[in-house]
Chain A
């Protein structure tokens, strides 16, 4: 971990009660969900983290508290620093405040969180599905969502599968 990152982590710890950990020289700060917008604003304005490099989530089903982690990747271009911020989210219908006021490119990332994980992003300007069709049921990247494996047709089961395979009309 770079020495320049230490004051940032200390500031996050004292202001927002962040829990700091480190793995393979990458620092992670875990924050409560109510602090994330303010923390992002502080990171951008006071610490020079001017780019939201990425935003994603991880599902820890069947855990319930927390079930999800929203994972933010912040980048400070001038000082060449990176910081990962994790926000634990409880329950099956979690809520997360939008970051699109602070970083405009959070917009699509948050739509992806809604689409893929069913994390409801509050006060989002345009919360629609982004990758899946609009009438899709379920959120595919949740761990309790099946992969959707379809049985493969070989010579021994060719006929059996052929009968139930959908056929187009001309």
Chain B
């Protein structure tokens, strides 16, 4: 399955640089250890023994934004937190992606009021939205795999 079949017995595989780079980016995606509210607990659960996100190579949480390339916005973003979140995003090295986890981060959820930013996409560009209040751990894992699919389709033009 996979590489061996393509390889045959020639010892050579041909592919495009785009595919190789995109493939390697999806296989070493380090999320930032950054929890805001309720969804952060489900994010922890997705790394726990029962759901085990490390099966997909997405468990290596880095506490420093300088070492991370995926920001999972797990929870509601208040007006006070918004500039902090933007600064964390700016500190992450490119290429970087954002998953908006849960209803509050995606659109404000039940909190349509003065204190909550109505969707984190007003502050940072979001790649994948995960619905749910809070989403199940499976939903988060599915969200990150959807992001992987998206990355596989990226081209040189997008990187520049």
Contacts and interface: CB of A to CB of B under 8 A. Distances in A.
Contacts of A148: 112-115
A168 B122 contact: yes
- Which 3 residue pairs spanning A and B have beta carbons closest together? A148-B114, A166-B122, A133-B80
A131 B81 CA distance: 11
Interface in A132-170: 132-133, 136, 140, 145-150, 152-153, 165-168, 170
Given A132-B79, A167-B122, 14 more contacts: A131-B80, A133-B80, A145-B114, A146-B114, A148-B113, A150-B108, A150-B118, A153-B107, A165-B119, A167-B121, A168-B86, A168-B123, A168-B124, A168-B125
B110 to A, nearest CB: 11
13 contacts: A131-B80, A133-B79, A133-B80, A140-B114, A147-B114, A150-B118, A152-B112, A165-B119, A165-B122, A166-B122, A167-B121, A168-B86, A168-B124
A68 B28 CA distance: 57
Interface residues of B, number: 16
Contacts of B79: 132-133, 136
A144 B124 CA distance: 32
Interface of B: 79-80, 86, 107-108, 112-115, 118-119, 121-125
Contacts of A167: 121-122
A19 B9 CA distance: 95
Given A132-B80, A133-B79, A133-B80, A147 B113 contact: yes
Nearest to A132: B80
